Chain A
Amino acid sequence: MKAVVYVPCDSGALSLGADQVARAISREAARRDLDLHLIRNGSRGLYWLEPMIEAVTARGRVAYGPLSADNVPALFDAGFLEGAAHPLCLGLAEEIPLLKKQERLTFARTGIVDPASLDDYLAHGGYEGLARAARLNPEQIAEEVTQSGLRGRGGAGFPCGIKLRTAMQTAADRKYVVCNADEGDSGTFADRMIMEGDPFVLIEGMTIAAMCAGAVYGYIYLRSEYPHSARALNAAIAQARARGYLGSNVVDSGKPFNLQVRVGAGSYICGEETAMLESLEGKRGMVRYKPPVPAVCGLFGRPTVINNVLTLATLPIILARGGAFYKNYGVGRSRGTQPIQLAGNVKRPGLYEKAFGVTLREIVYEYGGGTASGRPVRAVQVGGPLGAYFPQSMLDVPFDYEELAARNGLLGHGGVVVYDDTVNMAEMARYAMEFCARESCGKCTPCRIGSTRGMEVIDRIVARRDQSANLTLLRDLCDTMTNASLCALGGLTPLPVLSALKYFPGDFGLGDDAASLD
């Protein structure tokens, strides 16, 4: 029997030498005259174990990691192709505790299938959602998505079913589906993992959205920092087109749908949906006024469904298993699962998909294992560069849209970044303003000017110059940015700034009573 080995081609695994491991395996197999089939899968998301390879055995897929090319000859000697013991053997991949504890719905196939194979996708339940959608009318598709309770996973959390229905009900000669793959929020990488590890699920999700809204064309707006995603998506789109899953008559539904990947040019603001539309139209990525919302008047003035990669990639399972199935996961108004991306100073960074409701403390300690440095956790930022910093004492907050918002935080795109006690939170607050200044599109004054003034005011506070007056000024500035900015960049930058100030006043050279001023 031909031996089968999986070696990830996920860019995280590549950054740790997965290609060198793959080459070493091929070389060693040739030297030993073994017939070996090497499959490049996505990552399971257990990054502290990457590069993690898997050998297909009679018992199942046996994992080994973290590997380097140097380990490969010894693995062959030990008999890893039969799943034999070795110091780096992790046992059956499916049984790795932190993988088994997850609820993988959106990531059901990532790390398991060959992302370059449509047949493998089909063999793992792919396109079952579209098959069902093709038997429903658009209203029924929108209803199924509404029932599921799915909300936008990009950050805004807007109900996906409502967005679909709005575009569906708006009459136009041409409509679009745009996938927001401009995963600019630092600390997040779930979109990238889907695109590299299971690209067909995104294509299927966009096709379902198109069928519902009546769209004929789609764009995936992809950030330029993700070249491996671009390659995986383009290869998958070509296969889908060749096999009738895209084209003039999608799965014999009589409906046309085509799509293409558009690569951005390094602008964070182009992740904001209206700036993204401007960019797709070939212009500067300037935020648009709303209304009209894009579902009514979007790309090239036509109704446009815009959703994040994770939202669209969740539509197939909702259609395949039903809205009620998806809704059964989660708590309160946060239904379903959230792919949580854990990073920063943490022992076990990775992708953990869990039903909403898991606490931040469980994520950081049970999953993450505490800090990588072994020092105490001091702060945890949730939701990307515009998310709040939480101190130790607040880690019992459940991962849930409303619970985080109630504590002046946000869920955002589901990123969690951990810091140990060497972090200076005044520097992080200043960095938040600096990032806003760098990435502001410049359309509204609070964001364009406020961010630069914010840096200056923080500098003066830290230098202990007229602290009381400057503190008042900083709060006033944040109030203006929060309430008068056109979009979330200027509007949410105060979250990291004010949370750092509130919970870590000492880092700004302030007494603990500074926190009580708000």
Chain B
Amino acid sequence: MGSNGWNQSAILDIARQLRDEPGALLLILRRIQDELGWIPEQSVPLIADVLNLSRAEVHGVATFYHDFRHHPPGRHVIRLCRAESCQAMGAVALARHLEDRLGIGFGQTTADGRFTLDAVYCLGNCACSPALTIDGDIHGRVTPGRLDDLMAAVEERRS
């Protein structure tokens, strides 16, 4: 086990399992992100070795895509849509509400590790704006009051 609970053999298993797929590098990174919730920097040389690529090539892909995290996320991840339709329906106020309540900005995690706040540019839920996801579950027509309820509910579910 590495620090932060990741496991070298788990990464090697994923890389070896997918190495022969066309376009394997993105598949491998996607799988690591999905299973670990982030992509530890130490996985870069491991993947490079399995795919016979340079570390630079692996690093380049890992840092190109917004989905790939380079630090572990908080226990709960909130992704607020900040695109046009949601802006037109109050996403700016929701953004301020979240920043105030959590005391962090977008792309940050609270010091106690409870919440990570991310921006997303369109969830395809524009007809139910404003929209956000909490731990992957999608919510539409969200108001600050409903957001508080949803946040309380995920915290309760955990305890």
Tell me which residues across on chain A come within 8 A of B143, comparing CB atoms. none
- Cβ B26 vs Cβ A417 within 8 A: no
CB within 8 Å for A417 and B138 given contacts A266-B66, A344-B89, A372-B89: no
- Cβ A349 vs Cβ B129 within 8 A: yes
- Asked whether any CB of chain A lies closer than 8 Å to the CB of B78, the reply is no
- Asked whether any CB of chain A lies closer than 8 Å to the CB of B123, the reply is yes
In B132-159, which residues have CB < 8 Å from any A CB? 136, 138-141
Tell me which residues across on chain B come within 8 A of A256, comparing CB atoms. none
- How many angstroms between the C-alpha atoms of A188 and B121 in the bound complex? 11
- How many angstroms between the C-alpha atoms of A423 and B87 in the bound complex? 9
- How many angstroms between the C-alpha atoms of A187 and B125 in the bound complex? 8
Tell me which residues across on chain A come within 8 A of B60, comparing CB atoms. 284
Chain B's nearest CB lies how many Å from the CB of A517? 26
What 1/0 flags go to B78-116 for Cβ under 8 Å of A? 000101111111000000000000000000000000000
Interface centre among B23, B126, B128 (most CB of A within 10 A): B126
- How many angstroms between the C-alpha atoms of A503 and B138 in the bound complex? 36
- Cβ A189 vs Cβ B121 within 8 A: no
Partner of B127, one of A280, A342, A381, A438: A342
- Cβ B88 vs Cβ A192 within 8 A: no
- Cβ B124 vs Cβ A428 within 8 A: no
- Cβ A186 vs Cβ B61 within 8 A: no
- Cβ A226 vs Cβ B61 within 8 A: no
Please report the total number of A residues contacting B with Cβ < 8 Å. 59
CB within 8 Å for A189 and B127 given contacts A11-B138, A267-B64, A267-B66: yes
- How many angstroms between the C-alpha atoms of A265 and B29 in the bound complex? 9
- Asked whether any CB of chain B lies closer than 8 Å to the CB of A489, the reply is no
- Cβ B121 vs Cβ A417 within 8 A: no
Tally the A-B contacts, defined by beta carbons under 8 Å: 148
Partner of A343, one of B29, B33, B129, B136: B129
- Cβ B123 vs Cβ A225 within 8 A: yes
Tell me which residues across on chain B come within 8 A of A350, comparing CB atoms. 127
- Asked whether any CB of chain A lies closer than 8 Å to the CB of B30, the reply is yes
Chain A's nearest CB lies how many Å from the CB of B22? 7
What 1/0 flags go to A256-275 for Cβ under 8 Å of B? 00000011111110000000
- Cβ B131 vs Cβ A224 within 8 A: no
- Cβ A12 vs Cβ B127 within 8 A: yes
- Cβ A47 vs Cβ B89 within 8 A: no
Tell me which residues across on chain A come within 8 A of B87, comparing CB atoms. 428, 431
Chain A's nearest CB lies how many Å from the CB of B89? 6
In B1-47, which residues have CB < 8 Å from any A CB? 22-27, 29-30, 33
- Cβ A282 vs Cβ B26 within 8 A: yes
Chain A's nearest CB lies how many Å from the CB of B116? 14
- Cβ B30 vs Cβ A188 within 8 A: no
- Closest B residue by C-beta to A66: B141
- Asked whether any CB of chain A lies closer than 8 Å to the CB of B67, the reply is yes
Chain B's nearest CB lies how many Å from the CB of A300? 7
Tell me which residues across on chain B come within 8 A of A283, comparing CB atoms. 23, 25-26, 61
In A200-234, which residues have CB < 8 Å from any B CB? 224-227
- Asked whether any CB of chain B lies closer than 8 Å to the CB of A245, the reply is no
Interface centre among A186, A263, A264 (most CB of B within 10 A): A186
- How many angstroms between the C-alpha atoms of A262 and B127 in the bound complex? 26
Tell me which residues across on chain A come within 8 A of B83, comparing CB atoms. 186-187, 385
- Cβ A265 vs Cβ B127 within 8 A: no
- How many angstroms between the C-alpha atoms of A286 and B127 in the bound complex? 31
Tell me which residues across on chain A come within 8 A of B128, comparing CB atoms. 12, 15-16, 47, 50, 349
- Cβ A15 vs Cβ B125 within 8 A: yes
Interface centre among A224, A268, A420 (most CB of B within 10 A): A224
- Closest A residue by C-beta to B139: A15
- Asked whether any CB of chain B lies closer than 8 Å to the CB of A512, the reply is no
In A406-438, which residues have CB < 8 Å from any B CB? 415, 417-420, 423, 428, 431, 435, 438
Tell me which residues across on chain B come within 8 A of A396, comparing CB atoms. none
- Cβ A265 vs Cβ B24 within 8 A: no
- Closest B residue by C-beta to A300: B22
- Cβ B138 vs Cβ A265 within 8 A: no
- Cβ B66 vs Cβ A385 within 8 A: no
- How many angstroms between the C-alpha atoms of A128 and B29 in the bound complex? 40
- How many angstroms between the C-alpha atoms of A385 and B88 in the bound complex? 13
- How many angstroms between the C-alpha atoms of A15 and B25 in the bound complex? 33
Chain B's nearest CB lies how many Å from the CB of A215? 14
- Cβ A187 vs Cβ B126 within 8 A: yes
Tell me which residues across on chain B come within 8 A of A227, comparing CB atoms. 136
- Asked whether any CB of chain A lies closer than 8 Å to the CB of B48, the reply is no
- Closest B residue by C-beta to A227: B136
- Closest B residue by C-beta to A45: B127
- Cβ A16 vs Cβ B141 within 8 A: yes
Tell me which residues across on chain B come within 8 A of A417, comparing CB atoms. 84-85, 88, 126
- Cβ A282 vs Cβ B121 within 8 A: no
- How many angstroms between the C-alpha atoms of A406 and B85 in the bound complex? 25
In A335-381, which residues have CB < 8 Å from any B CB? 341-345, 349-351, 372, 381
CB within 8 Å for A11 and B125 given contacts A267-B64, A282-B23: yes
| Cβ contacts A to B, 22 pairs, < 8 Å | A15-B138, A16-B141, A47-B127, A183-B122, A183-B124, A186-B86, A186-B122, A187-B83, A188-B124, A189-B124, A224-B67, A226-B124, A267-B66, A279-B23, A282-B25, A283-B61, A284-B60, A343-B129, A344-B88, A417-B88, A419-B88, A438-B121
Q: Across the A-B interface, give the 5 residue pairs with the lowest CB-CB distance, nearest first.
A: A186-B83, A15-B140, A265-B65, A343-B126, A282-B23
Other A-B pairs, 8, CB within 8 Å; known A47-B128, A184-B122: A15-B138, A183-B122, A187-B126, A189-B125, A265-B29, A265-B66, A283-B26, A345-B89
Interface residues of B (CB under 8 A from A): 22-27, 29-30, 33, 60-61, 64-68, 81, 83-89, 120-129, 131, 136, 138-141
